[in-house]
Structure 1
């Protein structure tokens, strides 16, 4: 376990935390309501990409310099902020105070538009950015230039094995109120960008089932019909080995490791989304515990039907696509431009 301390005075800024993978929806904006916490208590994640101000316009830096920053297609602006921002849960932050002149937001809270808005309570150094406005996942981003990590003697979280992950709670595609889960929209949108890059511009064939429900409408709309074709299936722990061109594999939520499928192209998916896709339709009912007789099963209500068709997150899809070198290929650049310019027949949220 580690704690993060102020680089100026060594004051503790967090409780002990263990590292996990950065959630794929970390930078998602969704709806106009308050979203839950991004990070679980006692965890932290590191964003390897530059983030935050200063920003430089694409027209100012040009394609060559943007590619050096890992951006391969035009965007409005490129971040020249530091890489390595650390995401922690709001409840794990200690010893900070708000910087009042930086407490800007759109509606219900702070959105961090002006950079760090939390200072070390001991020395006054700006150390972190609190984000809790509507449409944003609630999180505190520690500034990597202003904090240090310190090993502490505390029990670390055990990293679960792949089979153990199957026993963890799965994330259904529809929330209890009947709307599509924003985590599903984020996972499928980012995964779609990688599937397209792996397709080489050929039509992708998806067997009927949850993968087809999520990916097929966009793949059919964005890729040409007819041969040649490539196949897309699920692969991973608990599934039989299969021969395919593109495999959707789980990404471990703690270590960030991607399941090794041995296929030509492996596209990672958020583990709880992958697990639901892989096992929800043949999941065995389990006996209820605590007092019910053996053989009696819970009579839980079925999940609510979605309130509308599944829509992909346009911004996350484009952000993932512009960071793939393959987007420089003319056919994939045309796909990028169609989505950026809001081609009306595409299954994206505009």
Structure 2
């Protein structure tokens, strides 16, 4: 376990934390309501950055020989995300808290300073539409190893499961983000060829996107679910889980692998949302009461377009002309089908 301390004065900035993988929805903006925390208390994740290997970042602008400091809510590489309740020994920086709606979105740069030395150390994000998180600045804090219980890494057979639809009948935002990231990887390994997908939740999540983004015609590639508890005999493209703690991708011998967030993969692999056909003479009222039908969404599934573009930007393969054309088309028309 570690705590993070101020790089200036050494004061402890956090509770004791264990590392987990960065969730796919870490950079997602969803709706206008207040969203819950991005990370569980007692955990931290590192965002390796929004680096785009296919396009160099623009230098900071200069006016009259003075370099202007600019900020973006995506922040610098290697920021450390933690739950807001795990922050210690910080104070707000008042001049960096304006211009938001129901909270702070971090657009003015680090808004938390070390209470001891005043060094800006972190950015709290809790505005409407953002997953609540505190991002520690990588150059302003340093990890310090501490004694504590060793985090138990769950077995592959213990992977969590998240349903795709909430109680209101809306698609889950983490699902929309996770499928968007997997879709970016699927396009890369497809090589621009048509891909078939298995019926059920995989088809519901991916088929409309494949129809919209890849050329028509008979499938030349085939996507199949693979992972713990399923057959390992995959010869083409395997849709496999990514471990929520380690970030490790399920190992298999498929021709190509597409990683998917573990909780989404588990639901796709092992949940059956088909409605039961009523038995003869109707189902008894008490049985119907205790076994309600699965929640069904009000609309077709749509991956998160902004998360999809961000995921593509991180993949060097987007330099390929056919994939760059898809990227440019989605960016120019963010509301296009299937987004």
TM score, norm. by length of structure 2: 0.87
The answer (yes or no) to whether the contact 2:72–2:107 under 8 Å persists in 1 is no
Cα distance in 2 for partners of 1:36, 1:101 equals 26
In the alignment, the residues of structure 1 paired with residue 309 and residue 72 of structure 2 have an alpha-carbon distance, to the nearest angstrom, of 14
User: 1:249 and 2:240 equivalent?
Assistant: yes
**Distance in 1, Cα, partners of 2:148 & 2:254:** 40
1:304, CA displacement in angstroms? 2.4
Q: Which runs of 5+ in 1 are unaligned?
A: 52-57, 68-76, 284-295
What's the offset of the Cα at 1:22? 0.5
TM-fit CA distance, 1:176: 1.4
- Are the equivalent residues in 1 in contact too, given 2:5–2:13 (CA < 8 A)? yes
Matched, 1:120 2:114: yes
Q: How far apart are 1:164 and its partner, in Å?
A: 2.1
Q: What residue is the counterpart of 1:100 in the other structure? A: 94
Tell me: CA distance 1:244–1:78, structure 2 relative to 1, closer, same or farther (3 Å).
farther
**Given the superposition, is the C-alpha separation of residues 22 and 343 from structure 1 closer, same or farther in structure 2, using an over 3 Å criterion?**
closer
Runs ≥4 residues deviating over 6 A = 77-80
**Structure 1, residues 131-182: CA drift from partner, whole Å, max 9, x if none?**
00001000000001110111111112211111122xx4x1100011211000
Q: Does 1:154 align with 2:145?
A: no
Per-residue deviation at 1:188? 0.5
Q: Structure 1, residues 187-217: CA drift from partner, whole Å, max 9, x if none?
A: 0011101101110011001121111110000
Under a length normalisation based on structure 1, what TM-score does the superposition of the two structures give?
0.84
Deviations 1:281-321 (A, max 9, x none): 299xxxxxxxxxxxx99925333221211112111111111
Q: Which of these residues, 321, 326, 334, is aligned with residue 330 of structure 1?
A: 321
1:303 and 2:294 correspond = yes
Match 2:305 to one of 314, 317, 320: 314
Change (3 A) 1:298 1:203: same
Shift of 1:241: 1.7
Q: Where in structure 2 are the equivalents of 1:1-350 lying within 5 Å?
A: 1-49=1-49, 65-66=56-57, 82-165=76-159, 168=160, 170-227=161-218, 229-281=220-272, 299-342=290-333, 346-348=337-339
SS of the residue corresponding to residue 174 of structure 1 reads coil
Relative to structure 1, the CA distance from residue 138 to residue 270 in structure 2 (aligned partners, 3 Å threshold; closer, same or farther) is: same
CA offset at residue 45 of structure 1? 0.4
8 Å Cα contact 2:234-2:253 kept in structure 1: no
Q: Secondary structure at the match of 1:16?
A: coil
Uncovered stretches (5+) of structure 2, i.e. residues with no partner? 59-70, 275-286
SS at match of 2:26: coil
Aligned partners of 1:80, 1:19: CA distance in 2, in Å?
Answer: 20
1:79 deviation in Å?
Answer: 9.5
Q: 1:299 to 1:81 in 2, by over 3 A?
A: closer
Is this contact kept in 1: 2:235–2:253, CA < 8 A?
no
Query: SS of the counterpart of 1:191?
Result: helix
Q: CA RMSD in A?
A: 2.6
Partners of 2:296 and 2:258 lie apart in 1 by 28
- In 2, distance between residues paired with 1:218 and 1:8? 48
